[in-house]
Structure 1
Amino acid sequence: MTDKPAWLVAHGPPWTPGMERQVFETGWITVTEQTAIAPTGRPSPYGMVKFKNLAVAVLPIHDDGTVTLVGQHRFPFMAYSWELPEGGAPMGEDPLEGAKRELAEETGLMAAEWREILQAQLSNSVTDERMVGYLATGLSPVAGAEHTADETEAIALVRVPFHEALEAAVAGHLPDMLTVAMLLRGHHMAVKGSLPGALARAMLG
């Protein structure tokens, strides 16, 4: 990651947390409510979703500049979604290990080279969910691997040129935000010379 520019500084007072009570809990999230004090000094009831896993996403780029995407139905929107391989790494686990596991489970692939390329906050007004994204290259099948996805996941795979996936994301056809952000980051790296030349040329078509 590059150093922060000088203008990236905090301004004004922060939020002040108040008494917190747990409203709901599952194996994945905890919902809490508290009366916090806003930066303006006003009391403000605040509900927050706390995640028990760190989100991990993988941008798996093949040597020919194609990318493997995962297709599945997403319950909250009752819609089908094509996405990059992604999932959750338990807090305290090395997120890279979680990313390797998700890539193998969802696609049957392993990578020779891994590189962290993105960190982000997801919906940071109401959740504390964070993500780490990795570029995976030198891809090959996991020996004898079956797609050992979660028992609730019915996953499909497609391998498409990177530039087609990027265009689909920009057009709104791949609405998953981790996918959009990771594809844009991959494009930025290819354009800025942060990737091997042959791979960048293949990605950009």
Structure 2
Amino acid sequence: MEHNPWKTLKIKPIYNNPWIRLEEHDVLNPAGKEGIYGKVHFKNKAMGIIPIDKNGNTWLVGQYRYTLKEYSWEIPMGGGPIGQDLLESAKRELKEETGLVAEKWTELLRIHTSNSVTDEEGFVYLAEDLTQLDTEFEETEVLQIKKLPLQEAVSMVMNGEITDAISIAGILKAARVLGL
């Protein structure tokens, strides 16, 4: 039977900004003992896009990730405010980061990125029937764009060159769905 064995006694706000809220929860754990639980609440849904052209190519986006202090290759992705249409947010992110516009969209997966401390929820879409336009980078984005066969992106996942969780899940699911 699926039920919540935790009891929340009190929630104390610790930090809040436009993107996240950090809370400390006083709880009774499943054994009935008092404890604390830290929670990071995300104010946006994460979304990633696997664009695929008629030749089986996809696009990756490279950028320096401040929190990791390293360069990261990822699928095009971003955030959409909770309550806003997820697909519209995905379309916006694809256009901003790659200049691509897609006629056909398929939701590939829903993922929780780190369910032990956050409530972040991500979605990955497959984007097909592509048209190339100009990018529209945000002021915080210094991006490098790489077009490559999807199978090469799978190899980058398997050899550890791609470490972002949403990118890994999306690339592997797209390859499976497309029969690669």
TM-score by shorter chain over 0.5: yes
Partner of 1:110: 101
Rounded Cα–Cα distance in structure 1 between residues aligned with 2:58 and 2:8: 43
How far is the alpha carbon of 1:187 from its aligned partner?
A: 1.6
Partner of 1:19: 10
Rounded Cα–Cα distance in structure 1 between residues aligned with 2:174 and 2:68: 27
Partner of 1:35: 26
Partner of 2:81: 90
Rounded Cα–Cα distance in structure 2 between residues aligned with 1:154 and 1:65: 26
Rounded Cα–Cα distance in structure 1 between residues aligned with 2:146 and 2:162: 13
Structure 2 length normalisation: TM-score? 0.96
4+ runs deviating over 2 angstroms: none
Rounded Cα–Cα distance in structure 1 between residues aligned with 2:95 and 2:106: 16
Rounded Cα–Cα distance in structure 2 between residues aligned with 1:55 and 1:13: 25
Structure 1 length normalisation: TM-score? 0.85
Report the secondary structure of 2:148's partner residue.
strand
Partner of 2:147: 159
Rounded Cα–Cα distance in structure 2 between residues aligned with 1:84 and 1:13: 34
Rounded Cα–Cα distance in structure 2 between residues aligned with 1:158 and 1:188: 21
Identity value in percent: 39
Partner of 2:167: 179
State the aligned residue count. 180
Question: Which segments of 5 or more consecutive residues in structure 1 lack a partner in the other structure?
Answer: 1-8, 192-203
How far is the alpha carbon of 1:91 from its aligned partner?
A: 0.5
Partner of 1:4: none
| Aligned residue identity for 1:32 | E
How far is the alpha carbon of 1:13 from its aligned partner?
A: 4.9
Structure with the higher strand share, 1 or 2: 2
Q: Say which is worse superposed, 33-42 or 168-177, in terms of deviation.
A: 33-42
Partner of 1:50: 41
Q: Deviations over 1:45-73 (max 9, x none)?
A: 11110000000110111110011110100
| Aligned residue identity for 1:129 | E
User: Equivalent of 2:60, from 69, 93, 107?
Assistant: 69
